[in-house]
Chains A and B, each alone.
Chain A
Amino acid sequence: MQTEFTPLLSLTGGILIGVSAVILMWLNGRIAGMTGILAGILPPFESDWAWRAAFTAGAIASPLIWIALGNRIEFAIPVSTIELVIGGLIVGVGVTYGGGCTSGHGVCGMARLSKRSIAATITFMIATFITVFIIRHVLGQS
């Protein structure tokens, strides 16, 4: 499935992701990492549960507000539901062991020049690349 290169939208979106991370650090002193935020929402509920729920609610709400204002968000899933479920399970286990994902390690941790985050980001980018290569070009699905 072909998708169009969207430099301006992706630049705008990337800057917004960065602005969000900076606001959360500036005001709340927290890393805007989705892994940590989701882990903190799951039981046991500690006292810091509420801000994580608020961040998550905001992240779900704003694309809907954007659509309600008459805009479109490009979206397509090129894989089967089984692949989504298997992928989801592996991602959940992986980010728990790895202590973060694209947002926590890839953006916030790299911005802090954390060695762990740089190692994690290089590792998962290579692993994703190899996985996609095997699925699309060795097993021949697309």
Chain B
Amino acid sequence: MKELTALLAGLIFGLGIALSGMANPAKVINFFDVFGTFDPSLLVVMGSALVTTFIGYRIVFKSQSKPVFEPSFSLPTKSTIDASLIGGSIAFGIGWGISGFCPGGAIPALGFGGVGSFAFVGAMLVGLIIGRELKHGNVFANPKLESKKS
């Protein structure tokens, strides 16, 4: 059942990303190009996604002690702002600015974005594996498991 509900969430996510413009590198780069061909659309996307999630999460966490199809909520437990978080986020921003793609924007673009979206996603997956090797000394390191332990 949790695969079906994840599929449903994925379908809604992909359509939302595609309609919003997050999967469109031209639009994404223009959002950041305030002194050039500025397009404020992404502010609307991030604002409305954030407000919707903020309200929805509050309703879920208030009305339920656990999710419908799992025994507990899987929430990140780390709370320290460390060099890895900041350095990684700086690198992510540089890559996002160069390409116009973020992970959540690029995956829905695979279906309609042609060779370019495959070039980005292929390189990003290689980057994920290189990142594991650099960060954990192990290409099979699983950050999910690590974050549960800490």
Complex CA–CA separation, A42 to B130 (angstroms): 12
- Interchain CB contact under 8 A, A16 and B12: yes
Dominant secondary structure at the B interface: helix
Complex CA–CA separation, A125 to B47 (angstroms): 14
- Interchain CB contact under 8 A, B135 and A97: yes
Residues of A within 8 A of B135 (CB): 96-97
Q: How far is the CB of B27 from the nearest CB of chain A, in Å?
A: 5
- Interchain CB contact under 8 A, B12 and A36: no
Residues of B within 8 A of A116 (CB): 76, 78-81, 85
Could you say which of B11, B75, B99, B144 contacts A59, with CB atoms under 8 Å apart? B11
Complex CA–CA separation, A64 to B23 (angstroms): 13
Complex CA–CA separation, A106 to B8 (angstroms): 21
A98 in contact with B85 given A54-B6, A64-B111 (CB within 8 Å): yes
Residues of B within 8 A of A106 (CB): 46, 50
Could you say which of B39, B75, B132 contacts A5, with CB atoms under 8 Å apart? B39
Complex CA–CA separation, A17 to B18 (angstroms): 10
- Interchain CB contact under 8 A, B49 and A14: yes
**How many chain B residues have a CB neighbour from A under 8 Å?**
122
Complex CA–CA separation, A90 to B17 (angstroms): 22
- Interchain CB contact under 8 A, B26 and A92: no
**How many chain A residues have a CB neighbour from B under 8 Å?**
117
A88 in contact with B121 given A18-B51, A31-B75, A96-B131 (CB within 8 Å): yes
- Interchain CB contact under 8 A, B47 and A14: yes
Residues of A within 8 A of B130 (CB): 89, 92-93
- Interchain CB contact under 8 A, A55 and B13: yes
Residues of A within 8 A of B14 (CB): 58-63
- Interchain CB contact under 8 A, B129 and A129: no
Q: Which residues of A contact B (CB under 8 A)?
A: 1-7, 9-36, 38-40, 42-44, 46, 48, 50-52, 54-67, 73-79, 81, 83-99, 101-103, 105-112, 114-116, 119-121, 123-133, 135-137, 142
Q: Which residues of B contact A (CB under 8 A)?
A: 2-27, 29-30, 32-37, 39-42, 44-54, 56-57, 59-60, 64, 66-70, 72-76, 78-81, 84-113, 115-116, 119-132, 134-135, 140, 142-145, 147
10 contacts between A and B (CB under 8 A): A11-B48, A14-B46, A25-B73, A32-B13, A87-B120, A88-B121, A92-B95, A116-B79, A123-B85, A123-B93
